[in-house]
Chain A
Amino acid sequence: MPDTSHNPVPSGHPFCRRGRSTEGLIKAFFGGNAALTIVILVLIILFLLREGVGFFPEYRTELQNFRKSGLEFVDIARKDLTAHEQMGSLLNRAYFAQVNSNCREEMQRLEEATAIVNYLGEATAPAHDALVQVTDAESNSPPTPELLQKLSAQYRKRLADALSGRLGKGFPPTPHLSRTEQQLLCDQIAARDPLSTDDPAFANELQASLAAKRELSAAPLIAFRDAIDAFQSSSSALDVLVSETSDTVKATKEAAVLHGIQVRKRQTLLDAARTAKPDLRSQLEADIAAAVTTEPVDFTAAMAPVLARIPQFKEANAAMSAGLTEVSEKLPLSLSDEKADRYLKAFRAATPAMAAETADTVGLLEGWRADVPVGIGMTISGFISGRDWITGGEWQDIYGILPLFIGSLMISIIALAIAIPFGVGAAIYTNQLAGPRQQRFVKPTIEFLQAIPSVVLGFVGIAVLGTLLQEVSTLDSLSWIPGFPIQQRLNMFTAGCLLGLMAIPTIFTLSEDAINNVPAAFAEASDALGASKLQTIFRVIVPAAISGILAAVLLGLGRVIGETMVVLLVAGNRIQIPDFTDGIGTVFQPAHTLTGIIAQELGEVPFGSVHYRALFVVGILLFVIVLAINWTAQRLLRRFRISQH
């Protein structure tokens, strides 16, 4: 029975019925929308969990196969080999740095000559390419003399323009080449046949003189060179062993994988046959009979020849240890070149660790057992703390999230370091210091930043910011900044700058709100006590709004961590924990991120594979991180609200 006592419309009036039903409809519509949003959110979470939850058991099975087929065994030995190679590379770098330290001038002269040749080559490229195309021996019709003449004239004209520095970025600077040498080089290029790309004689001369100088400065280092060579060849026995055994175990693994696929296929066919119609069933049964063509792999038997080589591994290992001791004795005490000496010191510092690693290998190899099961705890901890994310390779896919997580974290820190001062500063200014006209201009302008699509920002990042930073970083006057000159124009700093730009509007708007919500009585009381405007702002207003500002920063962080397109385009996608020995300069290294890896790899992974599920687990992790950040922000805000009353 509807209660009409409060209804101003008399009962029985057409408005009453119609009004109520329309109202109900609208109410249901809005309620339905809200409910649908929540349902979709729940469905997304369920979908993430459903796809991701199967990852750990499947990855565990994969790791089990990795162990059973002996790949893990070979990896133990290979780890030593890799470490040995790294050590050898250090020594080589020390050696070449020392050799090159005497040839700096020759190198600069050659570099400048190459720059001139490249500049002229690039300037004349269009005409040169056209000439090459028409004179191509395999093309059907020989070019007419007029065409040749026209193109040659074009080539000459461009060359003349380039020689006078009118094309492109202008003639490159050549402080180490004399005026006559530069002229000689230009003349030689001008005299060169338009079709030829051979280096001019003078460039070859410079090359020869550099080679001669190198030989000269290498002569006193001959003992050092021999020591390095002896060290490097001390691992050759292990190298051969590892590459031979890895072929064996890889074949074992592949056979096991193939058999697994066939067994699964038979299962699918069996399931299909159970419900199939009689005529189809006979066909399917024939298929089932032919489905499995390989024997199940006997891992123990397959591993036996590899395990039988343990004595050889022992020998190779001893040879490597001996090589390390020997080279340590023969190395020069110090090198005169600063860089070379640094490499040498790094080698010395790493020697004990290397010796220890080589020493325990034999024990590890002998103690290795194929039948020890891989625990689910180990799988999970390997995923969370693993330092490698290797996919799509031939050996074994490894999923370790640490480098991606650190990449995301570093980029977020850089972004916040940029966005906090700008966002909060702008908020304080707009709310407290700006006049109404400035307020009306600043607020919408900053909020407008949010309207720029991230893919556009990413493109700006590559084409403008990255290139600009890289060019600026090569200036000599800035070489004191750590990390300069920047190697890659795609790096964490460029990505962080752009993400900071994206986070500024969020932080600005919410901080401004928080400052705005500080009761006017606070400021008035402060004024009454004789505080200046700045004192009021920094001693009263900002502390009162601090939890709101923190919440704003956290929500900005949530936005930064979840951003995909910019980091995918700009961060450089190097899956490695950054080398923190560079100090502050670390920020100029490239990195890969949690969001970037999903976008890059999900598009083409086979549906339902372990790799596919691994990416979903990364997605779940991201979801949890962003959720935790938002939750903390909400908590902070609630505290802020209480402090007001």
Chain B
Amino acid sequence: MTALLKDLTRHPSGRIGLITFAVFLIAAVLGKTGFTPYDPLIQDRIARLQGPSAAHWFGTDLFGRDVFSRLMDGIGQSFIISFFSVGIASLLGAVLGLTAAWFAGLWDGAVMRFMDVLLAFPAILLALLIITIFGPGTWTSVLAIAIVYTPIFTRVVRGPALSLRRRDFVDAARTFGSSRRYIMTRHLALNLVAPLTVQITLALAWALVTEAGLSFLGLGTQPPNASLGLMLSDARNLMEMAPWLLWMPAVALMLAVLSFNLLGDALRDILDPKTRRRLA
């Protein structure tokens, strides 16, 4: 783990990604634990729609709430939703993928066909249906996004797991005299954990975007709480009167997604045995 971090700081885009991510993570944690310049929910309706100033760095919104504080809160909200949804999706995907590979036969067929069905379903519409059924809210968003991204994880896990089961690599490695235990661990690390890690990082970026899209349609985070998508949606009709309401969450969303994409790129380079060899 520490070795991985070290590798990341050496990798150029890894370093930038890590720093950006760290900044956002700090903002998110502070935002969710209440260490914001203002209470993100407190309305000061006299001071509505004020541009950026020393008192309100990113201005105020329609209700006179501090946009900077709401941005911190919103980043926290968006992070919570993407972390939980990707966490669930990867866990669910891992279980389904592993069992599909292990039990094979009917179970494998059933799981993979169901994943095909989910994949063929347009992602945002799938999420939209799930949310309209259960009613919008943080945990419904988590559930919806998790379901949308489960098939990808199932596929990522099933492939390597299948070859693990067949043990073809074991025989190959045996001829070189490696121990069984060593082979298993190493194989798992290289062929399962590595792609899974990369996939998780990228999925975090997609989840951020999906959450923002759903909130933009009014189906994600519920007011008065903030999320990046909801802030964008609220800014829509006000963008000519108060452009900062549009710019701040737009840039924040872009940078947050960027940090995950950069990390994903770096992890792929570091963990991929092919590029690793080349780098060495």
Tell me if chain B binds chain A.
no
- Which residues does B use to contact A, with CB under 8 Å? none
